[in-house]
Amino acid sequence: MKNANITIPFEDEKLQALRLFAGKKDADIDSELGDAIQKLYEKYVPKDARELVEMMAGADMPRGKAAVKKAVPAKMATVKREPIKDGLANSGILDSGTPGSSAAHGSQNKI
């Protein structure tokens, strides 16, 4: 995932004191702030939403035709066409199952 920078106001004197005393304990302020924001993320963002974010970020979604082939399972990528049953074709609703027939475009009104 791409990282974003967060800027928050904090009094300079307090930050200097924090760095001084955290440094004496070998504490990494940036690491601890990262841990704190991660805990806030986990607290407020529902688990399902976090999983979706992680899936989308980890997938590096390619674009174009290759993306469709990768994103759509093979079973869903093809459409099986079945012939129109005789009853429907002979009912006058459709003249034939071919695209472009006049009945398929509604230019004939057979009832």
CB 103, CB 95: distance < 8 Å: yes
Give the relative orientation of helices 12-24 and 29-44 as an angle to the nearest 10 degrees. 110
* The pLDDT value given to residue 60: 63
DSSP string, 9-70: ---HHHHHHHHHHHHHTT--HHHHHHHHHHHHHHHHS-HHHHHHHHHHHHHT---SHHHHHH
* The pLDDT value given to residue 36: 97
Q: 101 or 45: whose pLDDT is higher?
A: 45
Question: What does residue 36 show for φ and ψ, rounded to 5 degrees?
Answer: -65, -40
* The pLDDT value given to residue 104: 46
At 5-46, the pLDDT tens digits run 999 999 999 999 999 999 999 999 999 999 999 999 999 999
* The pLDDT value given to residue 59: 74
At 37-89, the pLDDT tens digits run 999 999 999 999 999 999 998 876 554 455 444 554 444 445 555 655 555 44
